[in-house]
Amino acid sequence: MNYPFWDIPHLGSGWVIGIIAIFHVMISQFAVGGGLYLPIAERKAMRMADKNMSAEWLTQLARHSKFFLILTGVFGTISGVGIWFAIGLTHPEATSTLIHNFVFGWAMEWVFFMVELTTVAVYYYTWDRIDPRLHLKVGWVYAGASIATLVIINGILTFMLTPGDTWLGVAGTGHEASVFWNAFFNPTYWPSLFLRCCVCASLAGIWALITSSRIDGDKHLALKTSLVKWSVKWLVPSFVAIPFLMIWYLMMVPESQRALLSLGIDTIGAGTFSVITRIALVIIVTSATVVGVAYYLAYRNPAEFNLSHAMAVLLLALIATGSGEYAREMLRKPYVIGRWMFSNGVRVPYVARINQEGYLAHSMWVWNGPVLNDRITSMGITPLNDPNLSYTRGEAIFRGECGSCHTLSGYRPLKELLAGRDRTNIGSFITMLQDYRADSPYRRFMPPMVGSKQDVDDLTDFLNAQVNSPAAKPVLAAATK
């Protein structure tokens, strides 16, 4: 552990990223899709033969662009910074790898991001103030810049799932950046890009339904009808193409990782295994409902389409997006960077070394750990002979090795998952995780437990105290009285 551990009790730090990320994806993909929606709609309005309708469309688009500016410029930006905050604390090793590999990728991303933020503000504030053709051009610049941000971030996101053999060949040598383009255009790059483009278009339509649902259908029937119908059409490409793109995407994921998808049919374990299958069902059902609601409530009855209908579509889309992102995360387990770095920051080729030297040998952040104790000793002071030494070391190992996926008593709670086992039994489970045999079912989603024999004992002591602590029982009993 080169970094201190960020402890989020009950929820687990992974969910902090998850919650921010789902919120961010909904908005940032809208920023891309909506960035195209606005100039395309504006161009359509400018070419309308009916001048009244054209003016009505443009007024409505100006309103929509205000909503767009606030949502993407404020909430999209803040949540984007939030993701950096959360991944930096939760996965410092992986974040460092991403930064080092993609320095220029990030630099390009931020240039386009600045262009995006500037042009969206110019676009909103110059309706009716500059020549309409120039205004439309500003819209196109915005659209181009926001597509560029997707094109770049997609390379970095897909890299984490499938870094590709070329990159893996140089990983750890210090020359990783020399294969920048191989890492960038990695095996899942293209299917993921097309998938995300479809999602962006759908979100553009869905968010446009929110603003157009608020048009008064009695007063502006023609406007509302034409705008709602046109917005629904933005959802169409997704539902035609997404199933095929998903299959293409999955085909590019290495077999070993795809194994997680078949978990639903497996018989091992307590429940996880059907998680992916359940998630897939949720995605299918919510997406199908979005189509149904969009067709029957919006396309067929645009005049009566109201804000609560639009919110329902948005909520369903949120669930589908969230489930999709969650499934993508699950698919990557047990790695944070495919086949190179486990979710807990341990690099695959370091496992043997850590087993030899001990997990805490280089951890300078651990109280009573060897690094700190050496330093104290070198100052001529005898380190405290803490009677709970094994426990505190075990806790540090738990946090470092298990804490990225488990909490003690909240999300994936080890207290519950280990309930009913005594110390010997817990010890043999951990030893099995350390052996990490080729046929171990846990390999599909858990990294090996790395460390010395002493580390296995310390972790066992700590977990045993959580599960079987006799002291804990009276306290609990007293608390419930």
* Cβ nearer to ligand HEC, comparing 36 with 351: 351
Shortest distance in whole angstroms from residue 49 CB to ligand HEC: 59
Residue 1's contacts (CB-CB under 8 Å, 6 or more residues apart) are 345, 359, 360, 362, 363, 365, 366, 396, 400
* Cβ nearer to ligand HEC, comparing 64 with 333: 333
Residue 17 interacts with ligand HEC (CB under 6 A): yes or no: no
- Give the one residue of 108, 285, 417, 432 binding ligand HEC; rule: CB under 6 A: 417
Shortest distance in whole angstroms from residue 308 CB to ligand HEC: 36
Name residue 137's amino acid: K
Residue 269 interacts with ligand HEC (CB under 6 A): yes or no: yes
Residue 460 interacts with ligand HEC (CB under 6 A): yes or no: no
Sign of CA dihedral 49, 50, 55, 56: negative
Residue 49 interacts with ligand HEC (CB under 6 A): yes or no: no
Alpha-carbon span 208 to 60, nearest angstrom: 10
Residue 406 interacts with ligand HEC (CB under 6 A): yes or no: yes
Shortest distance in whole angstroms from residue 14 CB to ligand HEC: 8
Owner of token pair 């094994």: 390
Residue 5 interacts with ligand HEC (CB under 6 A): yes or no: no
Residue 354 interacts with ligand HEC (CB under 6 A): yes or no: no
* Cβ nearer to ligand HEC, comparing 207 with 273: 273
- Give the one residue of 51, 173, 218, 271 binding ligand HEC; rule: CB under 6 A: 271
With 0-12 / 13-18 / 19 or more C-beta atoms within 10 angstroms meaning exposed / middle / buried, residue 480 is: exposed
State the CB neighbour count (10 A cutoff) for residue 205. Answer: 28
* Cβ nearer to ligand HEC, comparing 210 with 341: 341
- Give the one residue of 150, 290, 327, 418 binding ligand HEC; rule: CB under 6 A: 418
Residue 408 interacts with ligand HEC (CB under 6 A): yes or no: no
Residue 96's contacts (CB-CB under 8 Å, 6 or more residues apart) are none
Candidates 289, 343, 335, 338; CA nearest to 312 is 289
Distances (CA, A) of 131 to 22, 55, 104, 139, 197: 38, 15, 36, 13, 30
x/- map, 94-133, ligand HEC, by CB under 6 A: ----------------------------------------
Give the CA diameter of the chain: 89
* Cβ nearer to ligand HEC, comparing 20 with 449: 449
Residue 326 interacts with ligand HEC (CB under 6 A): yes or no: no
Alpha-carbon span 325 to 357, nearest angstrom: 37
* Cβ nearer to ligand HEC, comparing 248 with 411: 411
Residue 38 interacts with ligand HEC (CB under 6 A): yes or no: no
Alpha-carbon span 481 to 478, nearest angstrom: 5
- Give the one residue of 20, 32, 227, 402 binding ligand HEC; rule: CB under 6 A: 402
Both tokens assigned to 209: 């339904």
- Give the one residue of 25, 445, 465, 466 binding ligand HEC; rule: CB under 6 A: 445
Residue 270 interacts with ligand HEC (CB under 6 A): yes or no: yes
Owner of token pair 């889309």: 317
* Cβ nearer to ligand HEC, comparing 224 with 406: 406
- Give the one residue of 59, 96, 272, 392 binding ligand HEC; rule: CB under 6 A: 272
Both tokens assigned to 376: 């104290």
Alpha-carbon span 46 to 58, nearest angstrom: 8
Q: State the residues that interact with ligand HEC by CB under 6 A.
A: 269-272, 333-334, 343-344, 401-402, 404-406, 412, 414, 417-418, 429-430, 433, 445-447, 449
